[in-house]
Structure 1
Amino acid sequence: MVQLKHSGPNASTFFNELFELPVPTTGTFDGPNLNVLRVAYSFRDRERKAKRSQTKTFFVPETQEAISTSSFDSTDVLASVVSPSNQRRALLREVSDDKGKKRIVEIWFGSRLEASLDVTEKHEEFNTDLFLSTLSFSPSETALLYSAEAKLDKSTFEGGKADPFDKFRFTPHAGETMYTKKRSTIYLFRWANPGDARSTILPTRTKNDVSLSVLKPVETPAVPVLFGQAVFASEDRIIATGYEYTGDGKLMGVKFCYNKPTALYELQLGPEEKKDDSNTEKSEDKKDAPKLPTVAARVATRLTPPERTVRTPRVLRDENGAATHLFWLSNALGGAHNASATLYSKQLASDASGGQDGEAKALVGPVAEPEPGAFPGIFADDIAQRGFLRVGDTTQVVISSGWGARNTVLLVDASSGAVKELTPSVKGEPQVSYGLLCTDGRNRVVCSRHSPTLPPEVVLGTVDAKGGVSWKVIDTTVVSTELDDALKGLEYSVVPITGRKSVEAIHIGPKSSATDDKKPYSLLMPHGGPHANSMVTFSYLAASFALDGYTLCSPNYTGSTGYGENFVQGLIGNCGSLDVEDCIAAARHFNDQGISENGKWAIWGGSHGGFLTGHLIGQYPDFFRAAILCNPVISLGEISTSDIPDWYYAECGLPFTPATLMTPEMYAKLWAVSPISYVDNVKTPALLCVGEADKRVAPTQGIGYYHALKGRNKVVEMLTFPGETHAMDGVECAATWYEATRDWIRAWTS
């Protein structure tokens, strides 16, 4: 029997180089004239087994061509934001020394440190994820909102001042990758009085001049809420996203699930309540929660209706810095976890008028059935921090969104809702993807531009008064001459699948030759989600396989995003059948087109892609020579530890409420559409890779499948990774499961 055996560190010619390539993640303009651009890059350091960050600084004056750059390691900077005047920058920093980790909040005015505070003993880790994070300057630039995990005050229990059971009382967490987030709290950091002129540099502040307060609502919302994504609308008015607990006490997993109970809330700041000094310095245990002063915050009426969800509120300001409008993305509550988003706006009452806000207005809604090549609706995670441009006499909201098999950048007229694509495909040329990094709030955008054969390059676009854009490449990914030549030997295309409505597949592989007698092995790679998609983006994983000689087929099956709302919703109630049929149809179409060859297929999939892999090797046992399943969904009825239990019901067309219990009838239906029901048919040698800390798909799903296969004398191996979550993206873990995948395929296809 062939077993998994490592073929050596250099078994893939280009994997190590591809694995460590830097990826641009965010950008910011700053400086009084917005002529300084900082771009952050993330990269994997395999030697240190750690992810690291680097920031490059570019000088980008609008009237000159010259661009000078410098770079520095920014691994200890977890998050940053530029102030409304562009003169200040706030940093959340985490540094390590011989005593452990320290957390520091810093305010910089140009190159001068204006204020800082060591908050290590004030709270636990900063929240810097997309969902619970907050980082917002007040209009006067004398205060900063940020989010962190509150400490549990052990002294109140040990001193007999509280019910000792409260120390152990169950508190839900925020789900996948955020299972340490239970008490996400918004903090208010002040270093000056609001009356101080924001354009004048303040004297350097010491710890005696600054204050840190907890934002504490004095009126409890109707349901328990965790607040995040808070932004200042005025000096005393804050708009925040509230993540609401369900009726059965759950806090549903929020990561990339936009159908969960959320709402916009208004918090009105009151006076700061002074801390009780008699209780603050007596504890010997420095791990006790400090007695921070609180700022009373009145919770206004819920700003959005209960049948809608919300995310990333963004405030538009006029040339004087006054807030004029609020924008946010919204989805329907329940159903598909990532469907078309609606962009909403509402006019904000000015401080001087004291009037009422305007009514919420839907600027752009879902597109049910887009015409071929037409706008398919908004498929986006967020609106950028400074997500606005001035184009002629109009204000445009800038959104990075999926459009078919690519990512693009949209301009949405803030008044009319008219949509224009800023980065359209060029007819006759291969499709490329653009990812928005930042805007200057005026007429410039910065994007990463890439494709399956083009590593990311950073491009600066200048938008004219008519919405046209001219691009300048300001940074490219440096690769070896050998890798550059090898990537030029690859080709890719987007292939429509005959007989499957709107279904496409991305083909990547070595350039074909008329003299080729034998075709290479093909690898079917269905994406996860299921409401996500495969795109023409640069991926070290896809590039590594293609450079190793494989032909890749990545289908966008029914349920994928970027093809209109009906295509997303078409999977609901058809999970485990329609998506499976689309995937096998894509592979067969590649055979029919002469791209691939029957009998020379392997398959790899993670999450819902693992679900599809289990189905395909069970329903088509003679089609694939090798299979790899990463954190797969195997049995839909066994869902007890998922942070999104509604997913399993919704995808199969079953109702779900906080009172829902699994019944024998429900279980029978879920069993019938699960890969486990086909386990007896499996012939394909299967490798399972499982993250032991996965909160989205219980590790028991993959482990149970391993035992089911092994108990039936099937060929199966499994690797498990302690501490790894659903994505299994730790540096050592990601490198290991790629190499295991490579060696498993080679073992069964050579």
Structure 2
Amino acid sequence: MESPVLRSPEEIAALYRELSQCPSLSSACIGPEVTTQYGGKYCNIYTEWSQQDLERAESVKFCRQYLIFHDSQAIVYSGPSGTCTEIKGELLSRESPSGALKAVLRKASTGKGEEKQFLEVWDQNRKVKSVNLTALEKHGNVYEEDQFGCLAWSHSETHLLYVAERKRPKAESFFQSKAPELSSGCADEEELARPEKRDKAVKGEQFVYHDDWGEALVGKSVPALCVLDVESSNISVLEGVPEHISPGQAFWSPGDTGVVFVGWWHEPFRLGLRHCTNRRSALFYVDLTQGRCELLSDDTQAVWSPRLSPDQCRIVYLENGTLGPHQQCSRLRMYDWYTKVTSTVLDVVPRQSQGQFTGIYCAALPGLCWAADSRRVVLDTAQRSRQELLVVDTLTGSVSSLTAGTLLGSWALLTIDRDLLVARFSTPSCPPTLKVAFLPGAGHEPQVSWVCLEEVTPVPDISWAIRALQPPPEQQNPQYEGLDFEAILLQPSKGLEPRKPPLVVMPHGGPHSVSTASWMLNPAALCRMGFAVLIVNYRGSLGFGQDNIASLPGHVGCQDVKDVQYCVERVLQEEPLDAARVAVVGGSHGGFLACHLIGQYPGTYQACVVRNPVVNMASMISSTDIPDWCATEAGFPYAPDALPDPARWAEMLHKSPMQYVAQVRAPVLLMLGEEDRRVPPKQGQEYYRALKARGIPARLLWYTGNNHALSGVEAEADGFMNMALWLLQHLRC
């Protein structure tokens, strides 16, 4: 018996509007501790959230505050303080160490439609400083993203450190006419004082190409470390950083004697950096008293996310090998500031022992991650198909879970201060909730007691479960035998009568990423419409050990495709699903897999939707910001000076979905971002034309102003509606 599926475009739009209003929780900050006259203690927790505003076609950011009364070991009372307030124009914000001051980087439009950046300092109840960074022209735009960006108070709270694009000399044509010189008696003193009047333009440089850091980092080319003297408002651009290094993720060293930062090598040219934790980089220290730059880590690896302990004695950071898979199982390393000794706290985990720690797979460590004892570190990481909170003892290397015994779902640490933890929890059927707890003493971590600050009602009529799968013997990788993988299955649970919903298969991108059991808007909305949704973490995904990751390069288009197909066939056999109505949806490498599946298994799938898919690795390698990805995943070593190799191009084409386009029968909807630097839209256009030439129904949506993520609010909403209607039409729901 077929299950009813929501069909009305108006009802589908109303459902999407309702679920898109579930806000995402992005950050939290714990205010100073206050002791009352009766001896009790309380503090304020400031949180930032965002949600889609479909009418304004933008993502709006807002804050909400909460009061926590406690005795330093347990929470006595907690609750919201006031209502939500929208945040306007904030790019970065940071509380000072004492909590007395707050720095804000803000963008604001002038009356002429120009955007300017301001660096503000606020005390408890007023703005005490506003510096127009754009007008000063000491540097270009400040970096607000988390790859390079930072806003760091000195320990003395007298200086602010940030990263901005290094100022370039103005350029003009060889044929630029000179303005007549004014006599000193006629010159406007204010005009002469402006920086652009003092700077001499360089002729013939206006069309010089400047290499940047690729997808989502367009225009970010030469970052510079900058310091604001809060008292005088003077801005300095720090010298001493090696010319072949791009600095970022900086903070003040112990004693404010200098600046510690991560430096990325950018010679001979920059490769895409977003979601690529395998780029050669190292930890550096610029000594401001002596003007020298010192290397603090191995300079042959990839490092990121350095975090200074509360006692200012140790720095922990993450480390990977260079090149190879873009994301891998990482080491947790620690540098002792005073002994100058570096140690490995946690090493790469090849394989998971039964029920044990699977390794670290972090895009970044939390901004504040140290316990008050300056010995333990708290972090969140994928552990198979869940994201868990873990406590790592940096002296013994022991790992304890803070979430193992809790409800099934996924956790993320927002901050920890004075051992008060603030975390986000969600499931595939429950939007993010805000939880707090005190970190128990060493050895007692499992006794943690979580308190929910912001209750959220789960979305009704969605059931879900995580399924473990073992590839059949003929699909084992002989170099990495015995690996398993998982999938998350969402099903509509409304009603008790027998019903067979259609199935939407969703392999993730990457390929070295992971879909965790957390809130995801599109799968939840599809499930509420009446579809079952299968999210597959095939071999090669993060969270299952380094061997799992290493098993895929050289086998893309085969091992990952067979894992997804095997999972689909098992689920269709074991669950009450309609095998005659199956679709596949994916983006990036997930789109690569979707196009492979409809080509290799045309009898299984009746519809396909892909976002910025990889369809031809051979043609992509010369136009993407990550040419190393094409080589690595095809099974070849990457070298920046490598010349075109016909044999390798042939092998990349052989592993690409374009090889199977003649066998495709399913109608295909493509969504492409005009500004995608990762998988350039020519890839999707190539596939679209190949489908049209063979008479396969195909539709192409072209999103201007969007890059690889297609994360613009308008693009996301339109993409969902078009996907839903395409599935309804071609699955004959």
TM-score scaled to structure 2, two decimals? 0.88
Tell me the alpha carbon deviations over residues 18-49 of structure 1, each in whole angstroms, 9 at most, x when there is no partner. Answer: 12321100111122547111110011111001
The reply to whether residue 629 of structure 1 matches residue 610 of structure 2 is yes
Question: Per-residue deviation at 1:453?
Answer: 0.9
Aligned to 1:184: 223
Aligned to 2:161: 145
Give 2:350's aligned amino acid. Answer: A
Secondary structure of the structure 2 residue equivalent to 1:408: strand
Question: Per-residue deviation at 1:171?
Answer: 1.5
Which sections of structure 1, spanning at least 5 residues, go unmatched?
1-5, 193-208, 272-296, 350-356
Aligned to 1:496: 468
The number of residue pairs the alignment matches comes to 673
Aligned to 1:119: 133
Aligned to 1:434: 411
Aligned to 2:436: 460
Question: Per-residue deviation at 1:97?
Answer: 4.4
Secondary structure of the structure 1 residue equivalent to 2:622: coil
Question: Per-residue deviation at 1:555?
Answer: 0.7
Are the structure 2 counterparts of residues 573 and 711 from structure 1 closer, same or farther at C-alpha, using a change threshold of 3 Å? Answer: same
Aligned to 1:722: 704
Are the structure 2 counterparts of residues 682 and 529 from structure 1 closer, same or farther at C-alpha, using a change threshold of 3 Å? Answer: same
Aligned to 1:215: 238
Aligned to 1:673: 655
Aligned to 1:242: 263
Secondary structure of the structure 1 residue equivalent to 2:653: helix
Aligned to 2:188: none
Secondary structure of the structure 1 residue equivalent to 2:729: helix
CA distance in 1, matches of 2:510, 2:242: 35
Question: Per-residue deviation at 1:464?
Answer: 2.1
Are the structure 2 counterparts of residues 489 and 512 from structure 1 closer, same or farther at C-alpha, using a change threshold of 3 Å? Answer: closer
Are the structure 2 counterparts of residues 117 and 394 from structure 1 closer, same or farther at C-alpha, using a change threshold of 3 Å? Answer: closer
Match of 1:396 among 345, 356, 376: 376
Aligned to 2:395: 415
Tell me the alpha carbon deviations over residues 85-141 of structure 1, each in whole angstroms, 9 at most, x when there is no partner. Answer: 232221111123433333211222322433331212234432121111021111111
Question: Per-residue deviation at 1:662?
Answer: 2.5
The reply to whether residue 86 of structure 1 matches residue 99 of structure 2 is yes
Across the aligned residues of Structure 1 and Structure 2, the Cα RMSD in angstroms comes to: 2.0
Range with greater deviation from structure 2 (444-453 or 81-90): 81-90
CA distance in 2, matches of 1:394, 1:54: 32
The reply to whether residue 60 of structure 1 matches residue 68 of structure 2 is yes
CA distance in 1, matches of 2:628, 2:717: 32
8 A Cα contact 1:107 1:113, kept in partner: yes
Aligned to 1:298: 292
8 A Cα contact 1:456 1:476, kept in partner: no
Give 1:57's aligned amino acid. Answer: Q
Please list, as runs of the form range in 1=range in 2, the aligned pairs for 1:128-527 lying within 5 A after superposition: 128-154=144-170, 161=200, 163-192=202-231, 209-217=232-240, 220-221=242-243, 224-233=244-253, 234-247=255-268, 250-270=269-289, 297-300=291-294, 302-318=295-311, 323-349=312-338, 357-390=339-372, 395-426=375-406, 431-440=408-417, 442-465=418-441, 466-467=444-445, 468-477=447-456, 487-499=459-471, 501-511=483-493, 515-516=497-498, 518-527=499-508
CA distance in 2, matches of 1:362, 1:117: 42
Range with greater deviation from structure 2 (117-126 or 731-740): 117-126
Aligned to 1:202: none
Question: Per-residue deviation at 1:475?
Answer: 1.2
Question: Per-residue deviation at 1:68?
Answer: 3.8
CA distance in 1, matches of 2:676, 2:370: 37
Question: Per-residue deviation at 1:511?
Answer: 1.9
Aligned to 1:687: 669
8 A Cα contact 1:504 1:555, kept in partner: yes
Aligned to 2:642: 660
CA distance in 2, matches of 1:267, 1:51: 38
Secondary structure of the structure 2 residue equivalent to 1:168: coil
CA distance in 2, matches of 1:506, 1:642: 31
The reply to whether residue 35 of structure 1 matches residue 43 of structure 2 is yes
Are the structure 2 counterparts of residues 110 and 669 from structure 1 closer, same or farther at C-alpha, using a change threshold of 3 Å? Answer: same
Give 2:25's aligned amino acid. Answer: P
Secondary structure of the structure 1 residue equivalent to 2:699: strand
Which sections of structure 2, spanning at least 5 residues, go unmatched?
1-6, 35-41, 179-198, 473-482
8 A Cα contact 1:20 1:46, kept in partner: no
In percent, how many aligned pairs have the same letter?
Answer: 28
Give 2:246's aligned amino acid. Answer: L
Secondary structure of the structure 2 residue equivalent to 1:488: coil
Are the structure 2 counterparts of residues 155 and 578 from structure 1 closer, same or farther at C-alpha, using a change threshold of 3 Å? Answer: closer
Tell me the alpha carbon deviations over residues 299-322 of structure 1, each in whole angstroms, 9 at most, x when there is no partner. Answer: 22x32223310111111132xxxx
Are the structure 2 counterparts of residues 533 and 142 from structure 1 closer, same or farther at C-alpha, using a change threshold of 3 Å? Answer: same
Are the structure 2 counterparts of residues 307 and 451 from structure 1 closer, same or farther at C-alpha, using a change threshold of 3 Å? Answer: same
CA distance in 2, matches of 1:747, 1:593: 26
8 A Cα contact 2:170 2:200, kept in partner: no
